[in-house]
C-alpha cells in the first residue's frame, strides 16, 4: 500500500523554547556545536557556524509519511510498518 504523505510549509520555524520562554540555543548540540531545534520539522543549525541561521534557514517545510493502515509515522523507504506490519509501496 502507498504511504500517506503529509507536506506542509510555514514561513518560519517554530523553535523549541527554554524555561524562560526564549529560543533554546542548546536544544540541539553535538561537540562544540549547538543551536535551536524546530518543533515541526526538526531542523537545526549551529549558532556559532551560522549566526544568521534564524533568517537564512527559511521556510519551515514538513515532509512526513504515515502508514496507510494504522497511521504510524514511517521513515522514507521503510519497507514494513513497525506497528502493524503493512508492506509499504514507495514506487511512483
Helix (H, G, I), strand (E, B) or coil at 54: helix
pLDDT tens digits, one per residue of 21-55: 999 999 999 999 999 999 999 999 999 999 999 88
- 26 close to 34: Cβ distance less than 8 angstroms: yes
DSSP code at position 80: B
Across all residues in the chain, what is the average pLDDT?
Answer: 95
All structural domains of the chain with their residue ranges = 4-74
Q: Is the bond into 59 cis (omega within 30 degrees of 0)?
A: yes
The model's pTM is: 0.78
Amino acid at each position: 500500500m502507498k504511504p500517506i504523505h503529509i507536506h506542509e510549509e510555514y514561513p518560519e520555524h517554530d523553535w523549541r523554547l527554554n524555561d524562560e520562554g526564549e529560543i533554546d540555543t542548546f536544544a540541539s548540540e553535538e561537540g562544540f556545536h549547538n543551536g535551536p531545534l524546530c518543533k515541526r520539522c526538526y531542523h537545526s543549525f549551529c549558532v556559532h557556524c551560522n549566526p544568521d541561521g534564524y533568517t537564512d534557514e527559511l521556510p519551515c517545510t514538513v515532509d512526513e509519511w504515515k502508514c496507510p493502515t494504522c497511521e504510524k509515522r514511517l521513515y522514507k523507504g521503510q519497507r514494513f510498518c513497525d506497528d502493524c506490519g503493512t508492506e509499504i509501496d514507495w514506487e511512483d
